[in-house]
């Protein structure tokens, strides 16, 4: 149950991204090419920044062992960037109305890094229940392992 508790926001956001990535957007207003290039890329950055942030948050809330937490940062970034690449490659395969765009992949990766930077900043402030443990703590032999 802890798995769902820590990752439900990530999963909801992932489904939002997948829905928007594969759904035809025929009724949406069509901006000019100049507006589309910038707005579209900003949306990609925002979507994947939120995705990577939520996955990192889930891993940090679930994993209490400090040395494993930092390995999960790399895993999170790879997972989110890989999802961005996979979506771009699958759009022209699974739909007739979407196409592959290199710049969307760049925007997705930029979003993943942005999410990690925001997460790192919030972690340094210890906001949103995100706390790091000092690596200089000694194990006192007590049965309370909640901090480890």
pTM here? 0.77
**Within-domain flag for 91:** yes
C-alpha 133/C-alpha 105 separation (Å) is: 35
DSSP 126: T
Please compute the mean of the pLDDT values over residues 72-82 and round it to a whole number: 93
pLDDT at position 131 over 90: no
**Within-domain flag for 10:** yes
Domain with 120, as residue range(s), is: 2-17+41-125
* Average pLDDT of the chain to the nearest whole number: 80
Please give the tally of structural domains in the chain.
1
Report whether 58 contacts 6 (CB < 8 A): yes
pLDDT higher for 92 or 32? 92
Task: Report the 10 Å Cβ neighbour count for 84.
Answer: 26
Please compute the mean of the pLDDT values over residues 55-74 and round it to a whole number: 83
Please compute the mean of the pLDDT values over residues 50-67 and round it to a whole number: 87
pLDDT tens digits, one per residue of 3-16: 678 899 999 999 99
pLDDT at position 142 over 60: no
What is the model's pLDDT at position 132?
A: 61
**Within-domain flag for 27:** no
**Within-domain flag for 98:** yes
């Amino acid at each position: 149950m802890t798995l769902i508790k820590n990752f439900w926001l990530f999963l909801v956001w992932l489904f939002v991204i997948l829905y928007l990535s594969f759904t035809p957007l025929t009724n949406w207003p069509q901006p000019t090419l100049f507006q589309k290039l910038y707005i579209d890329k900003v949306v990609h950055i925002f979507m994947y920044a939120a995705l990577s942030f939520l996955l990192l948050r889930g891993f940090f809330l679930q994993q209490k062992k400090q040395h494993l937490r930092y390995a999960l940062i790399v895993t999170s970034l790879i997972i989110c960037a890989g999802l961005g690449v996979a979506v771009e490659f699958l759009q022209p395969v699974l739909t007739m109305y979407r196409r592959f765009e290199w710049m969307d992949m760049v925007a997705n990766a930029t979003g993943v890094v942005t999410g990690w930077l925001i997460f790192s900043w919030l972690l340094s402030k210890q906001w949103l229940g995100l706390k790091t443990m000092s690596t200089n703590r000694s194990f006192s032999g007590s049965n309370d392992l909640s901090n480890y």
